[in-house]
Amino acid sequence: MLSQSYYIHNQAMHKTLVSIVRPLQWRMAKELLLLCLLLLLLHPPPCESASTSKPELVQKLSKAHFEFSLDLYRQLTLLEGGGVGNLVCSPYSAHSLLSQLFLGTSSSSDSSRQLRRALHFGAVSYVDAHTAFGEVSRSFADDRYYERKVRPANGLFAQQGTPVSAHYARALRQFYRSRLGTLDFRNADPAQTLGVVNDWVKDATEGDIPRMLQRPPAPDSKLLVVNALSVDTRWLNPFDPAKTFDEGLFFLPNGER
């Protein structure tokens, strides 16, 4: 009897117990039932699918970020008829900020679908996307990894009085290390609003970016999303100074040196 109880599965427990218990007295039936439940607790059935590991999640995020970066660069080069000249941008900053907005959307909304498409999250679930960003954010906080410093700072400033979910605010801190504050865009002195944002950026970047905004946000603003990226690090594969000289050869697209 005891050996049979080891092989009772969740789906067939009731049917199997009935066939075994009927010949027994009630006291023995209760003891057998307790034993079966105990064995199921001690030896639960194996999960059908293992959860995705964190490195795999980050790899999925990396692929989505790469596709997004190509899209962003392609659009920026089209500005002013393609005559933008040299271009320096941070696709990570844009991808991160849009993902934070995606965090606050419902799955059935148009905003969620549009952001998912723009962020290339078609193969990445809602939970996996933000979990992966959390892993990346933690790696940025470790100066040993980058030898010096790569410090992104995220800030969201909502119009004062606008209801914001406490769950959303907590998730922003957990996955993106973001600050969520309020400003009175409508009634406050524009110079004061400008000063609050620029002071936050200066503090977040340890003085590397003393002033980000040149003019205050519009009075009818509902949400201001800010990212500042402070970088002081080294090349992964640095140039050899012995093989580098001042008058290097560089070529323009037309072949001119």
37 and 94 together in one domain:
no
Q: Which of 188, 194, 190 is nearest to 213 (CA)?
A: 194
Mean pLDDT over 162-166 rounds to: 92
Domain carrying residue 15: 2-42
Give yes or no for residue 190 having a pLDDT over 90: yes
- The reply to whether 221 and 186 lie within a common domain is yes
38 lies in the same domain as 72? no
- Which of the listed residues 121, 140, 159 is the one where a domain comes to its end? 140
Query: Rounded mean pLDDT of 152-166?
Result: 92
Task: Quote the mean pLDDT of the chain.
Answer: 78
- CB distance 91 to 68 below 8 Å: yes
Of the listed ranges 64-73, 135-144, 177-186, the least confidently predicted one is 135-144
**Tally of structural domains, the chain:** 3
Residue 242 lies in a domain: no
Q: What is the pLDDT of residue 42?
A: 45
Does 145 reside within a domain?
no
Sheet holding 223-232, edge to edge: 178-183, 149-159, 223-232
Percent over 70 (pLDDT), the chain: 71
192-197 mean pLDDT: 95
Among 10-24, 65-79, 83-97, the least confident range: 10-24
Task: Check whether 247 has a pLDDT greater than 80.
Answer: no
89/173: higher pLDDT: 173
Same domain, 57 and 132: yes
Question: What region, left, alpha or beta, does residue 106 occupy, with left being phi > 0 and alpha being psi -120 to 50 degrees?
Answer: beta
At residue 138, the pLDDT reads 84
User: Does the pLDDT at position 248 exceed 60?
Assistant: yes
- 250 inside domain: no
Range from 39-48, 103-112, 215-224 carrying the lowest mean pLDDT: 39-48
**Inside any domain, residue 105:** yes
Whether the predicted pLDDT of 135 surpasses 60: yes
Q: At what angle do helices 166-176 and 126-140 cross, to 10 degrees?
A: 50
- Dist. CA 19–CA 55, nearest whole Å: 48
Helix or strand (DSSP H, E) at 56 = helix 54-77
Q: Which of 140, 171, 190 is the last residue of a domain?
A: 140
DSSP class of 243: G
Same domain, 92 and 127: yes
Other beta carbons within 10 angstroms of residue 227's beta carbon come to: 22
SS (H, E, C) 86-103: CCCCCHHHHHHHHHHHHH
Q: Are 25 and 77 part of one and the same domain?
A: no
Query: What SS3 state is found at 131?
Result: helix
Instruction: Say if pTM beats, i.e. exceeds, 0.85.
Output: no
Q: How far apart are CA 205 and CA 152, in angstroms?
A: 8
